[in-house]
Structure 1
Amino acid sequence: MKVLVADDDYVSRLVAKAAVEQSGHECIVAADGDAAWELFQLHRPEVVVTDLKMPGLDGLALCRAIRATEKNSYTYLVLVTSHGSQDDVLAGLEAGADDYVTKPLDPFTLHTRLLVALRVTSLHTDLARYRTALAEQARRDPLTKLHNRLKLSEDIERLQNSSERYGQDYSVALCDVDNFKSYNDLYGHPAGDAALQAVADTLASHARTSDGVYRYGGEEFLLVLHNQTMSGARMAVERARAAVQAMGILHSGRPLGVLTLSAGISAYSSGHRASTEQLLKEADVALYAAKAAGRNTVAEAETASADLHR
């Protein structure tokens, strides 16, 4: 572990540093609270052993500052008091400290605190890893492994805010696998699942790293194309549509005999500063138009103005 020791007393710092290093941990020292706070932000140690009273930030203020910055990490805080009074201990715990030791500092006592700190910080590290994994799992479609609508709502809100602030274009394309119900009826749901996975892989492989590909629901997928005007989006989606057709997944219920894709596109631009809800509605209407036109085609939202094609 990395341990930060903050104490304005030189001898106390030496004793604490020696005890930390003899316990097999890396030690960083600070002579006052302000220096300790800077070192904490720079090194992010797992443990902080801080004196209660010292120049700059005192031990209580340092504990509160550290706790205020923590999100997915946890720092074990040990408060060092001169007398171990009940008031000092209670104030330290209320400020966020996990434990306390008294002066003069006993190396063995500090060693035992570090053993506890190692267990606690390891547990918090594991919990943070599990939380991250669960958060990612909640934002993934289990079948296609694409991001789902929860992740879409988060991503598109950030993109919309950025586009409004910096005047950047972006486009959305709502894609639907043509006659998918009849495909399931003809070949069964396992084959349908495999087909959706193949379509998802193809869409993802034809997207730029800056773009987003999401499972929108059922056999629908949504492409979010960053910094793309309508004309640029049209070319990108046409390539994706052709790639799906080129997979050659047999579908005897289609005129071409293979699985195909239809898509509707809408775009945000300086001439069409629509909300995300409006863009999605426009893309949905355009998709309906593509279906009505015979499927296996890409349609643009009718609200698109001429400047979308520049």
Structure 2
Amino acid sequence: MRILIADSNVLFARLVRLKLEKWGHKVDTALTGAEAWNLARRNNYRVVILDWPLEVIDGGRLCRQVRNLDRGRYTYILFYSERSDHESVMEAFEAGTDDYLFKPFNPLILKLRLKTGKRLLNLEDELLSIASFDPQTGLINYETFARFFRTHLAGAVRYMESGTLMSVRLVNYRDVFETHGYDAATKLMIEISRILPTHLRAADLVARVTDDSYFILLPQTPIENAYTVMQKLEADIAEIAVFAGMTEIRASVAIDHAGYPQEVADPDQIMAHLIPSEASAVRRSAN
């Protein structure tokens, strides 16, 4: 899991980080609340471990701010503190923490509590895989689209109906993510999702299939007729601009397509052809 440690005690943070990395987790550390908040805004951590005494932004405020972030997946928050009084514990839970541990560091206890947190996160992932829609854009997700496309393609083959499957990929997603953070990359994807349906018919279908990609299904539309749609989409997406602070960020997209039915009418092969193996993200189902 991706984990953030926010603790002003350098030695404690180092001990916890080394142990977490030994257990196979990817870990970032912050010694101040401001540094931790900057990291939390720019990355999608599954777990945040924090203490009360943090400069600029204390543990309680940091907990509330992390909990209020607009994320597609839940963040498990764990206080690890020397404060064992009832008021501090209650205040932490009111701020949104999921668990509270007392210092000094006990690796066994932490490992057990993280297992509990992981079970909760796994349950959420399973529920998302069952759900039909991407929580950020409201579009259907990969699994839902794939089930429909397999059925649709079987009918297209049977009745010899031509159609086009298009992919729209934000090629600078990774660069925006690494330079400006998770929120900026997500804003770009949301803005693209608002444009895509504007050039489509009621019978067409749009899905968010990876963190950085969409599928557009154009039934009964030969490839030569789909080029007009592609050109309009490219022109409109080129006008998209979002801001990270004072920095303007533009969308750079690649639009690919595949006609169907093909000689080998395998729907999964057609879809895989349109999702590059180097794509920056995983399918929008359970992840």
Say if 1:72 and 1:9 are closer, same or farther in 2 by CA, change over 3 A: same
Say if 1:50 and 1:173 are closer, same or farther in 2 by CA, change over 3 A: closer
1:103 matched residue in structure 2: 103
State the distance in 2 between where 1:36 and 1:53 align: 13
1:12 matched residue in structure 2: 12
1:136 aligns with 2:140: yes
Say if 1:211 and 1:30 are closer, same or farther in 2 by CA, change over 3 A: same
Contact 1:211 1:226 in 2 (8 A): yes
2:221 matched residue in structure 1: 202
State the distance in 1 between where 2:23 and 2:235 align: 54
Which 5+ residue runs of structure 2 have no aligned equivalent?
A: 154-162, 164-189, 204-217, 237-287
State the distance in 2 between where 1:8 and 1:68 align: 23
Contact 2:51 2:80 in 1 (8 A): yes
Residue 79 of structure 2 aligns to a residue whose secondary structure is strand
Contact 2:6 2:32 in 1 (8 A): yes
1:291 matched residue in structure 2: none
Contact 1:172 1:225 in 2 (8 A): no
Say if 1:95 and 1:205 are closer, same or farther in 2 by CA, change over 3 A: farther
Return the offset for 1:139. Answer: 9.1
More helix by share: 1
2:252 matched residue in structure 1: none
Contact 1:81 1:88 in 2 (8 A): no
Percent identity at matched positions? Answer: 25
Say if 1:206 and 1:63 are closer, same or farther in 2 by CA, change over 3 A: same
Summarize the alignment of residues 156-167 of structure 1 with structure 2, pairs less than 5 Å apart: 158=194
Count the aligned residue pairs: 180
Say if 1:173 and 1:27 are closer, same or farther in 2 by CA, change over 3 A: closer
Return the offset for 1:101. Answer: 0.6
Q: TM-score, normalised by structure 2?
A: 0.50
Moved more, 78-87 or 29-38: 78-87
State the distance in 1 between where 2:25 and 2:147 align: 42
Summarize the alignment of residues 23-62 of structure 1 with structure 2, pairs less than 5 Å apart: 23-62=23-62
Moved more, 30-39 or 123-132: 123-132
Q: Structure 1 segments of 4 or more deviating over 4 A? A: 132-135, 137-146, 157-160, 170-175, 209-212, 224-228
Return the offset for 1:78. Answer: 0.2
State the distance in 2 between where 1:49 and 1:114 align: 10
Q: TM-score, normalised by structure 1?
A: 0.47
Amino acid at match of 2:64: R
Larger Rg: 1
1:68 matched residue in structure 2: 68
State the distance in 1 between where 2:108 and 2:71 align: 31
